[in-house]
């Protein structure tokens, strides 16, 4: 019997009865997986109608990672195995996967299949495991991390009863206060690490030096009892008052020192704080903590995050527990944390956080620096893309400057949803604080997005008949004028795979249906604040710190954009490479401070000479600059270059060590390109920089202080 038609009427009725009353997934398939019969559970739990399943293969509904196991099971059944059990995931009609366990039975050439739904059991097991792990982690942290500050607090409580001097009692009281605050910070830090208790952190003005010292002072006594000294060095370039979360910073430093104390039987802990560039609105502060001396642990793993010692045994006192918390706390401040072990010198912990400059503080503090003064950290480090995530810490209700911006201009919110009920609901909820734009299809939404001014944020439904939310989002991302608009998906789907796909498509967040209006407003506010500060950071990231003109990163970005425009519009594009003549000898003669002033004056002259809005001048590196001239042919570019050369010459900046003119001059290389008209698709846009550099070299070889055009 190798088909269902061979069944007699009585057997067919019995089979239909079993299929009708079963609460599990039932189906009969052939040896290749083709579905021949299924029950209604496929419809009630997965959303597939019986006609949809007929003729389909079971493989089509299995998670891609489980397909190989199913094929192997079918092969075993067809070669002699009468029954098999298999666990896999079944895809529902909305894309969500359910966890099932299959029982396959081979009977007369057909495979009778029954799948038990284990989804709820699977999730319950995961939640129980997570809760058990969190509980054990919390107990471990409480027992290990709080011992030192509790001992310190107990010591000062005993001392205050034995002292008669008021000044000594005041010292004890101050240390008791600091130790109490320290304990409170540690506990709140542990609780903040629990997902159920995670909260946003503050962005307030605070004294950086006091905050760091307050984090260390309660641990000094404990460190002394372990024959450990603590040295602190704060770079003088760090401003006394900054903006950020002082409590979170205290938690990070305190936990690091606690873990460093664990490392040593005796020795020294050195802490260094170094700034990046405090002239920026947002700047990095790098912390480095090193231990040196006699290690406390024997057989400890070289990996500080490992819970095992070198013998593979669990080490209850290992650094893993505390460092994982430090890592989490640093990441909540959008920083990065690392820990390494040096076999000779102990451990080294490093992290950075981003803080805001407090522009309300104009006066310099005379705060005394502890330890040695670090050398000036003057590397011009550009903000990386991932550092833009740091602005998530600046909550909407904590950003006063942004609040003031909102009072002047109502943000434009575009809602795209084919459901009139949904658009009207969101419009009524948001109209008081926002200018709400409505679209009932993806195509209509794309038309509105192109209007001026563009929306500040888009709420986009995923499931629409004409275009899906994914398609609309991708179209928005392709346009340079709209690619930075944050998109929040509106969806009734809640599985992580759809969310991950949506985020890869360019969305920044999800809002689930039915709408929780409070959650909708909160997410809109957060994303608008994120967009606001991203614009501030973008200016910082694209500007050369010394000359305040665009930097190399911005030039390369604009070059790529202008090349696409030139190809699309069949227009010329020109590039000029510029170099200050004999600048090394200028620095040697007048010093680097005068050299910096020279660069600033030259940059200003270049910027002033370029008249058109689309023209761009950028500092490439050192004394090298570049100019980008859209819609400019070679003749026009040579004219601009000659004007620049004269403008720099007319500055009359003394340069007595120059072999030529005794003032600062420039050499310039010019090139231009346009799309080929022979339909070959060839052009020389990609070679513009190399061609301009070659022309610049020729200008130098010809005697400098001149313009040289590239010749093919």
How far is the C-alpha of 276 from the C-alpha of 262, rounded, in Å?
Answer: 30
Beta-carbon count within 10 A of 194 CB: 12
* Residues 323 and 200 occupy one common structural domain: yes
Q: How far apart are CA 544 and CA 180, in angstroms?
A: 45
CA–CA gap between residue 469 and residue 498 (Å, rounded): 12
Domain that holds residue 410: 396-541
Both 493 and 572 in one domain: the answer is no
152-202 pLDDT, tens digit per residue, is: 566 666 666 666 666 666 666 766 666 666 666 666 655 555 544 444 556
Assess contact for 220 and 356: CB atoms under 8 A: no
Residues 6+ apart with CB under 8 A from 270: 231, 233, 289, 290, 291, 292, 371
Query: 357 and 400, same structural domain?
Result: no
pLDDT tens-digit map of 472-525 = 888 888 777 788 899 998 887 655 555 666 666 678 888 888 888 888 988 898
Q: Which of 117, 150, 166 corresponds to the end of one domain?
A: 117
- Using an 8 Å Cβ cutoff, are 287 and 263 in contact? no
Of 259, 261, 283, the residue nearest 273 (C-alpha)? 283
Sheet of strand 624-630, all strands in order from the earlier edge strand to the far edge: 616-621, 624-630, 573-580, 666-673, 707-709
Residues 653 and 602 in one domain: yes
State the total domains in the chain: 4
Q: For the residues 666-693, what does the mean pLDDT come to? A: 80
User: What is the arithmetic mean of pLDDT over 658-685?
Assistant: 79
Q: Would you say residue 388 lies in a domain?
A: no
Whether residue 653 lies inside any domain: the answer is yes
Cα–Cα distances in Å, from 421 out to 418, 473, 522?
9, 22, 21
- Please name every residue paired with 282 in a beta bridge, in sequence order, or none if there are none: 356
Burial 345-378 (b: 16+ CB within 10 A, else e): ebbbbbbbbbbbbbeeeeeeeeeeeeeeebeeee
Residue 67 in domain: yes
Q: What is the mean pLDDT of the chain?
A: 78
The per-residue pLDDT for range 54-113, each reduced to its tens digit, is 889 999 999 988 888 888 888 888 887 778 888 999 999 888 899 999 999 988 888 999
Residue 124 inside a domain? The answer is no
Domain identity same for 104 and 17: yes
- Beta strands 346-357; 336-342: pairing state: antiparallel
Residue of higher predicted confidence among 21 and 344: 21
- Among the candidates 492, 510, 541, a domain finishes at 541
**One-character DSSP codes across 243-293:** EE-HHHHHHHHHHHHHHHHHHEEEEEEEEEEEES-TTSSEEEEEEEEEEEE
Query: CA 241 to CA 143: how far, in whole Å?
Result: 35
| Same domain? 112 vs 175 | no
Distances from the Cα of 65 to the Cα of 121, 256, 290, angstroms: 21, 41, 45
3-state secondary structure of 214: helix
What is the total residue count of the chain?
712
Q: Which of 87, 88, 79 is nearest to 111 (CA)?
A: 79
Report the predicted TM-score, pTM, of the whole model to 2 decimal places. 0.35
What tens digit of pLDDT does each residue of 379-394 get? 222 223 333 333 333 3
For tokens 């480095």, name the residue: 288
Which CA distances in Å does 94 have to 35, 59, 120, 470, 601?
Answer: 20, 17, 18, 15, 62
Question: Hey, which residues does 629 pair with through a beta bridge?
Answer: 574
Nearest residue to 48 via CA among 65, 60, 34: 60
Q: Are residues 113 and 158 in the same domain?
A: no
Three-state DSSP state, 449: helix
Does the pLDDT at position 298 exceed 60? no
Q: Which of 541, 564, 579 is the last residue of a domain?
A: 541
Q: Are residues 261 and 312 in the same domain?
A: yes
Q: What is the CATH number of the domain that holds 429?
A: 3.40.50.2300
């Amino acid at each position: 019997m190798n088909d269902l038609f061979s069944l007699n009427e009585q057997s067919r009725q019995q089979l239909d009865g079993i299929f009708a009353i079963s609460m599990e997934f039932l189906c009969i398939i052939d040896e290749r997986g083709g579905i021949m019969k299924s029950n209604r559970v496929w419809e009630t739990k997965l959303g597939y109608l019986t006609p949809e399943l007929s003729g389909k293969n079971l493989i089509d509904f299995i998670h891609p990672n489980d397909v190989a196991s199913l094929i192997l099971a079918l092969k075993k059944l067809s070669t002699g195995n009468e029954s098999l059990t298999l666990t896999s995931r079944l895809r529902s009609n909305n894309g969500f996967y359910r966890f099932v366990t299959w029982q396959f039975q081979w009977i007369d050439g057909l495979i009778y299949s029954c799948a038990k739904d284990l989804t709820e059991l699977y999730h319950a097991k995961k939640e129980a495991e997570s809760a058990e792990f969190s509980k054990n982690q919390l107990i471990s942290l409480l027992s290990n991390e709080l011992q030192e500050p509790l001992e310190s607090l107990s010591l000062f409580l005993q001392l205050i009863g034995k002292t008669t001097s008021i000044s000594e009692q005041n010292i004890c009281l101050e240390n008791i206060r600091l130790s109490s605050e320290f304990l409170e910070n540690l506990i709140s830090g542990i609780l903040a690490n629990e997902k159920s208790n995670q909260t946003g952190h503050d962005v307030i003005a605070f004294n950086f030096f006091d905050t760091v010292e307050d984090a260390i002072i309660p641990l000094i006594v404990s460190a002394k009892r372990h024959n450990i000294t603590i040295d602190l060095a704060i770079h003088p370039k760090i401003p006394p008052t900054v903006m950020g979360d002082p409590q979170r910073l205290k938690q990070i430093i305190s936990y690091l020192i606690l873990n460093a104390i664990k490392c040593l039987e005796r020795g020294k802990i050195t802490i260094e704080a170094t700034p990046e560039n405090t002239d920026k609105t947002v700047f990095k502060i790098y912390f480095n903590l090193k231990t040196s001396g006699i290690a406390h642990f024997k057989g400890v793993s070289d990996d500080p995050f490992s819970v095992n010692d070198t013998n593979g045994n669990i080490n209850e006192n290992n650094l893993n527990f505390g460092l994982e918390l430090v890592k989490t706390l640093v990441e909540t401040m959008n920083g990065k944390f690392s820990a390494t072990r040096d076999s000779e010198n102990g451990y080294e912990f490093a992290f950075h956080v981003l803080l805001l400059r407090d522009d309300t503080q104009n006066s310099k503090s005379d705060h005394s620096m502890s330890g040695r003064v670090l050398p000036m950290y003057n590397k011009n480090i550009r903000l990386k893309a991932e550092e833009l995530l740091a602005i998530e810490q600046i909550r909407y209700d904590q950003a006063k400057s942004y609040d003031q911006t909102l009072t002047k201009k109502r943000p434009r919110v575009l809602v795209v949803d084919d459901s009139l009920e949904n658009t009207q609901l969101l419009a009524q909820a948001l109209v008081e604080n926002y200018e709400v734009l409505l679209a009932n299809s993806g195509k209509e939404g794309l038309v509105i997005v192109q209007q001026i001014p563009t929306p500040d944020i888009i709420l986009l439904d995923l499931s629409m008949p004409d275009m899906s939310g994914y398609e609309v989002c991708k179209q928005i991302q392709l346009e340079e004028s709209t690619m930075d608009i944050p998109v929040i998906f509106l969806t009734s789907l809640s599985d992580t795979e759809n969310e991950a796909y949506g985020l890869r498509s360019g969305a920044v967040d999800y809002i689930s249906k039915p709408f929780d209006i409070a959650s909708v407003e909160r997410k809109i506010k957060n994303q608008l604040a994120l967009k606001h500060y991203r614009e501030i950071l973008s200016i910082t990231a694209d500007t050369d710190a010394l000359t305040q003109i665009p930097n190399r990163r911005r030039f390369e970005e604009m070059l790529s954009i202008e090349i696409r425009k030139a190809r699309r519009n069949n227009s010329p594009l020109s590039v000029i490479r510029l170099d200050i003549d004999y600048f090394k000898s200028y620095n040697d003669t007048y010093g680097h401070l005068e050299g910096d002033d020279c660069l600033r004056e030259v940059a200003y002259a270049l910027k002033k000479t370029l008249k058109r809005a689309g023209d761009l001048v950028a500092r490439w590196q050192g004394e090298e600059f570049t100019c980008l001239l859209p819609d400019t042919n070679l003749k026009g570019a040579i004219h601009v270059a000659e004007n620049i050369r004269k403008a720099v010459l007319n500055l009359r900046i003394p340069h007595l060590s120059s072999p030529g003119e005794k003032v600062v001059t420039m050499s310039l290389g010019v090139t231009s390109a346009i799309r080929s008209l022979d339909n070959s698709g060839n052009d020389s846009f990609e070679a513009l920089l190399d061609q301009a550099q070659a022309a610049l070299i020729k200008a130098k070889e010809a005697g400098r202080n001149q313009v040289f055009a590239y010749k093919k």
